Amino acid sequence: MHVSLSGRHPVMCQTATLQVEAKEGPLATTCLSWANTGPQLIVEGGGDKDGAESEDLEVMLTDHFQSNLTDKYYKMVVLSVRTLNASDQRWEDGAVLRCFVVFVSNSLRLREKKMGTGESGSVYRAVMAEEHEGTQSGGVVEPVRRKADGPAVSVPRGLGSANHAPRKKLILHMDLNNTILVSDTVTGQGSVAALDYFLTTVTWGKMSKHGKWEWLSDSASLFPPCSDASSYYSQFGRSPAFTSVAGRRFRGLLEEHLELLRWPQGIKEDRQLSVKGEDGRLYHWILPSFFQLIRDLAQEGREFAIVFRTFGTDLPRVLRAVSRAVKEGAHPLFPDLPELKLSVDMTPGKIRCSKRGVVLSRAKDRLSTCDGERGLYQYLSSVQGLGGFQDHFDWWATNSFSIRGGKPLWIDPFDQHVQHIFIDDNIRQNDEDTIVSPKVFLEPGSADTRTACTSELYDISLVQTDLLRAISDHSYFTQRVQICLENYESNLQNGTV
């Protein structure tokens, strides 16, 4: 079938509408939805009628799209195919597929080959088709399970299990506030106020010609629904009691996620792992999805380390709380964590930036980019267990909260043994308004780096936290890491990192 695409660049918006013209069957509508698990392509109708084992799906992009794409732009998608029942004209769920997609020049080709049957449709082998036939690569993908009230998400068999390459040590750099904590010591916000504030950053509208704010969506999303949309926060700044005044339509969303954040009933308050909200109720201080990530990584047998990276002052408390959970089994939902034998470095480090370079210090350790950036990369690649650093907020502010003053992250695409991923709610695909400064080494063993734009490494080495999903889905961080691992390997194999 041939797909003509119209609308805005999918990276910049949450949805776009496509028209699908099939060789056989009726004209159908296709929705391209950039969900938090990656883009989600749902093809309704226009399926293959003769039951062929494979077919090509080609999307021709307009000149507007070409101007926004590099020669090869790779993304992970979830493809769910629905077919039209000819007898009663009802849509029925059909094949479900998770795969890689490759944009080659001005066209996208996705080849599917049926491999067997899964419990949620058919399992496929996804093959990336280049401009020349025969340059194909791919792997068996998992079936997709559709949650009751959410988008289709892949259920990983294991982190990195789809890759035949040796598994790398994983270094996860994780922000604290609005990533694994729903509170903010810098602003003095408790759980209720912090979540209320977060909603101002993921709800969208615009100013009318008459100077009145108009909502463009009744749902929360990391991405704007259209190019001229603004988040409520970017338009009005911090708005106390947002969901009680201007954002009343989102009050239910706040209450729903506060309920999900509740400390287990009947379990005694823990001064380090639970926190009392402004409403007098007990909440998790550290999200259960964070501890689930630790458990998943360890049970997978993957070598990993977690490096907390925060501008705030709550790192010592976080280290104490995490230590109690992983060493003493103090968390009521994860009493088995001591079995993982994880170490926690209780000494907070510091990362300070200036025009002269970056200085990293912790206890007796001190490294500076004046001696080369490679040394800091090697130091962070060698850390074990869990620990953390306080980054330089004043430097970020001095650089207008842009990529130029962000938390430094060194990435070596030539390193066959280590992979770094940064997870932060303030990572955005706008380099003038983002919080991480990714520095990519240019050659194997080289000391020279370049600053990569956020969009280049988004969902590859950079993850923008969706706090609502991190609260509601305990496997959220595990899923995000899985997507980065697969996207990273795909880009390495095709030379695009």
Kindly tell me the burial class for residue 68, based on how many C-beta atoms sit within 10 Å of its own C-beta (0-12, 13-18, 19 or more).
Answer: middle
Q: What pLDDT does residue 188 have?
A: 80
pLDDT (mean) for 59-68: 30
Do 104 and 239 share a domain, yes or no? Answer: no
Do 280 and 306 share a domain, yes or no? Answer: no
Instruction: List, in order, residues 6 or more apart from 360 with CB less than 8 Å away.
Output: 349, 350, 351, 366, 367, 368, 376, 379, 380, 389
Spatial contact of 420 and 411, defined as CB atoms under 8 Å apart: yes
Residue 480: name the closest of 471, 470, 491 by CA. 470
Do 174 and 189 share a domain, yes or no? Answer: no
Do 177 and 209 share a domain, yes or no? Answer: no
Instruction: List, in order, residues 6 or more apart from 331 with CB less than 8 Å away.
Output: 273, 291, 324, 325, 337
Do 213 and 307 share a domain, yes or no? Answer: no
Residue 24 has pLDDT above 70, yes or no: no
Tokens at residue 236, please?
């009005």
Where do we find the tokens 């993850």?
463
Q: What pLDDT does residue 165 have?
A: 54
Do 211 and 312 share a domain, yes or no? Answer: no
Spatial contact of 130 and 144, defined as CB atoms under 8 Å apart: no
The CA distance from 157 to 297, in Å, is 12
Q: How many CB atoms lie within 10 A of CB 377?
A: 24
The CA distance from 495 to 497, in Å, is 6
Overall number of domains in the chain: 3
Tokens at residue 484, please?
């980065």
Question: What phi and psi values does residue 133 have, to the nearest 5 degrees?
Answer: -65, 145
Which ranges of 166-314 would DSSP assign to H, the alpha helix?
191-201, 232-236, 251-260, 288-300
Q: Is residue 252 part of a domain?
A: yes
Residue 220 has pLDDT above 80, yes or no: yes
Residue 467: name the closest of 224, 242, 201, 172 by CA. 201
Q: Is residue 164 part of a domain?
A: no
The SS3 call for residue 170 is strand
Lowest mean pLDDT among 152-156, 214-218, 225-229, 427-431: 152-156
Residue 106 has pLDDT above 80, yes or no: no
Do 31 and 63 share a domain, yes or no? Answer: yes
Spatial contact of 463 and 423, defined as CB atoms under 8 Å apart: yes
Lowest mean pLDDT among 21-25, 131-135, 416-420, 450-454: 131-135
Q: What pLDDT does residue 125 have?
A: 23
The CA distance from 168 to 468, in Å, is 29
Q: Cα dihedral sign for 184, 185, 186, 188?
A: positive
Do 21 and 47 share a domain, yes or no? Answer: yes
**Among residues of the chain, what percentage have pLDDT more than 70?**
66
Kindly tell me the burial class for residue 174, based on how many C-beta atoms sit within 10 Å of its own C-beta (0-12, 13-18, 19 or more).
Answer: buried
Q: Is residue 88 part of a domain?
A: yes
Q: Is residue 128 part of a domain?
A: yes
Count of CA atoms in the C-beta half-sphere (13 A) of 162:
26
Q: What pLDDT does residue 166 have?
A: 63
Do 302 and 392 share a domain, yes or no? Answer: yes
Structural domain ending residue among the three candidates 250, 285, 320: 285
Q: Are strands 169-174 and 204-207 parallel, antiparallel or unpaired?
A: unpaired
Residue 463 has pLDDT above 60, yes or no: yes
Lowest mean pLDDT among 8-12, 269-273, 304-308, 371-375: 8-12
Q: What angle do CA 459, 302, 483 make, to 5 degrees?
A: 20
Q: What pLDDT does residue 274 have?
A: 96
How does pLDDT run across 294-337, given as a tens digit for each residue?
A: 999 999 999 999 999 999 999 999 999 999 999 999 999 999 99
> What's the predicted TM-score (pTM) here?
0.70
Beta strands in 293-362 (DSSP E): 304-310, 349-354, 357-362
Spatial contact of 98 and 126, defined as CB atoms under 8 Å apart: yes
How does pLDDT run across 70-84, given as a tens digit for each residue?
A: 333 333 333 333 444
Structural domain ending residue among the three candidates 244, 269, 285: 285
Q: What pLDDT does residue 87 have?
A: 53
Tokens at residue 411, please?
């990435």
The more confidently predicted of residues 23 and 429 is: 429
Residue 13: name the closest of 249, 232, 223 by CA. 223
How does pLDDT run across 46-55, given as a tens digit for each residue?
A: 333 333 333 3
Do 236 and 248 share a domain, yes or no? Answer: yes
Complete DSSP assignment for 7-68: SS-GGGSSEEEEEEE-SSS--EEEEEEEETTEEEEEEES---TT--SEEEEEEEPPHHHHTT
Which ranges of 361-437 would DSSP assign to H, the alpha helix?
373-381, 393-398
Structural domain ending residue among the three candidates 229, 254, 285: 285
The CA distance from 387 to 371, in Å, is 24
Q: Is residue 162 part of a domain?
A: no
Q: What pLDDT does residue 10 have?
A: 32
The CA distance from 431 to 481, in Å, is 22
**Among residues of the chain, what percentage have pLDDT more than 90?**
62
Q: Is residue 161 part of a domain?
A: no
Q: Is residue 160 part of a domain?
A: no
Do 333 and 408 share a domain, yes or no? Answer: yes
Q: Are strands 136-140 and 121-129 parallel, antiparallel or unpaired?
A: antiparallel
Q: Is residue 428 part of a domain?
A: yes
Q: What range defines the domain where residue 373 resides?
A: 169-181+287-493
Do 98 and 193 share a domain, yes or no? Answer: no
